[in-house]
Amino acid sequence: MATLLHLDSAVFPQGSASRDVTAAFVEAWREQHPDGEVVYRDLAAEPLPHLDASAVVAGAEDALRAELAAELASADAVLIGAPMYNFSIPSTLKAWLDQVIIVGHNAGPDSPVAGTSVTVVASRGGSYAPGTPREDFEFVQNYLEKVLTGMLGAEVDFIVPELTLAHSKPEMAELIPLADASRAKAFTDAEEKAKSLAVRLAG
């Protein structure tokens, strides 16, 4: 039985590109895994506490950190909704990462997460694609790729619905066709990724 760990972190429960696309991914996942389990955390609705000194010292002996690390280790695949806030990830997602990454327990060469597929839906109001003026301000994909591969040895893929503010900002009106195309591609990518994961996990 395959288990998917699904995290959302967008502050808005409705009208969120990352939530819409992760939901589409989960729907496709469930079609492939009718007996599978989806473990869900809404990090915005139920934020985890910031890591504090006692939790750092306790490491895997801390009850919450142990619970989160076990949840991650037992996931066959992970799905993360990660909107861009101030060029970076939501602080609630950073809190999850700080709690769940435990050096000497799941971080390092023998990580139980090594090889686990992590799909990140990285929504953003603008575009930070290579060649765009704000390329150097991209600290969502650049950060998550480094921390998830570098600390946990995960295999990370990104789905990027971008220019999401084009419909609400008049100065971005000419970008609406690109925004719509990006959103459509994100749904297609989510469905394809969920299906290809099913094949991989079955093998």
Ligand X SMILES: Cc1cc2nc3c(=O)[nH]c(=O)nc-3n(C[C@H](O)[C@H](O)[C@H](O)COP(=O)(O)O)c2cc1C
Nearer to ligand X, 129 or 165 (CB): 165
Residue with tokens 């992590």: 118
Binding of ligand X by 83 (CB under 6 A): yes
Which residues, other chains included, contact 153 with Cβ-Cβ below 8 Å and sequence gap of 6+? 109, 111, 113, 114, 115
Q: Is 18 annotated as a binding residue?
A: yes
Which one of the spans 46-54, 79-87, 105-113, 171-179 is the region binding ligand X (CB under 6 A)? 79-87
Other residues' Cβ atoms within 10 Å of the Cβ of residue 176: 12
Tell the smallest beta-carbon distance from residue 123 to ligand X (Å). Answer: 4
Tell the smallest beta-carbon distance from residue 134 to ligand X (Å). Answer: 8
Binding of ligand X by 143 (CB under 6 A): no
Tell the smallest beta-carbon distance from residue 133 to ligand X (Å). Answer: 12
Residue with tokens 């994100």: 186
Vertex 103 angle, CA 102 and 107, to 5°: 85
Which one of the spans 11-19, 70-78, 110-118, 181-189 is the region binding ligand X (CB under 6 A)? 11-19
Distance CA(87)–CA(137), nearest Å, equals 6
- In single-letter form, the type of residue at position 34 comes to P
Distance CA(156)–CA(5), nearest Å, equals 14
Binding of ligand X by 165 (CB under 6 A): yes
Q: Which of residues 92-121 bind ligand X (CB under 6 A)?
A: none
Nearer to ligand X, 50 or 169 (CB): 169
Among 12, 60, 115, 150, binds ligand X (CB under 6 A): 12
Q: Is 203 annotated as a binding residue?
A: no
Tell the smallest beta-carbon distance from residue 173 to ligand X (Å). Answer: 16
Nearer to ligand X, 87 or 143 (CB): 87
Residue with tokens 């696309």: 21
On the CB side of 196, how many CA atoms lie within 13 Å of its CA?
10
3-state helix vs strand vs coil in the chain, percent to 5: 45, 15, 35
- List contacts with ligand X (CB under 6 A): 10, 12, 16-19, 83-87, 123-126, 164-165
**Binding-site annotation: residue ranges for FMN:** 16-18, 84-87, 123-126
